[in-house]
């Protein structure tokens, strides 16, 4: 299959699905967290598919890889923030989201490795 758009990437699709799930879950967080943890988690989650999309539109593989590494950092940030929310008792679906995060991390690592191989 030829990649015509970042929207063809399973990684981007799964990242988008995770963003929607996170928005729904964080809607139930305490109202005092609206400008704290809720906002941080959402911003970091949105950053993941956004960086995948931006990187795919760059001029070369090296730049795409840079954006994928940023997406990977944001994924770790989301995972940490969800862990904090879980420890604070704000969420019930933590385990489900961790499974999604692990899947996205696997897809992200696979794309990074493929692009690195292409580069060499």
Superfamily of domain 8-119: 23S rRNA-intervening sequence (1.20.1440.60)
**Cβ atoms within 10 Å, residue 55:** 21
Confidence of residue 1 (pLDDT cuts 50, 70, 90): very low
Q: Which contiguous run of DSSP H or E holds residue 30?
A: none
* pTM of the predicted protein model: 0.93
Residue-wise pLDDT tens digits, 26-46: 999 999 999 999 999 999 999
Helices of type H across the chain: 10-26, 37-56, 61-87, 94-119
List of residues 6+ apart from 75 with CB closer than 8 A: 48, 101, 104, 105, 108
- In the prediction, which pLDDT does 4 show? 74
Longest dimension (CA), the chain: 50
């Amino acid at each position: 299959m030829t990649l015509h758009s970042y929207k063809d990437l399973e990684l981007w699709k799964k990242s988008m699905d995770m963003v929607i799930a996170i928005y729904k879950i964080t809607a139930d967080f305490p109202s005092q967290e609206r400008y704290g943890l809720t906002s941080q988690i959402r911003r970091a989650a949105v950053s993941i598919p956004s960086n995948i999309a931006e990187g795919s539109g760059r001029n070369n593989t090296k730049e795409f890889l840079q954006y994928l590494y940023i997406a990977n950092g944001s994924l770790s940030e989301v995972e940490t923030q969800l862990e904090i929310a879980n420890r604070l008792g704000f969420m019930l679906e933590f385990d489900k989201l961790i499974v999604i995060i692990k899947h996205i991390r696997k897809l992200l690592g696979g794309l990074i490795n493929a692009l690195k191989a292409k580069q060499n």
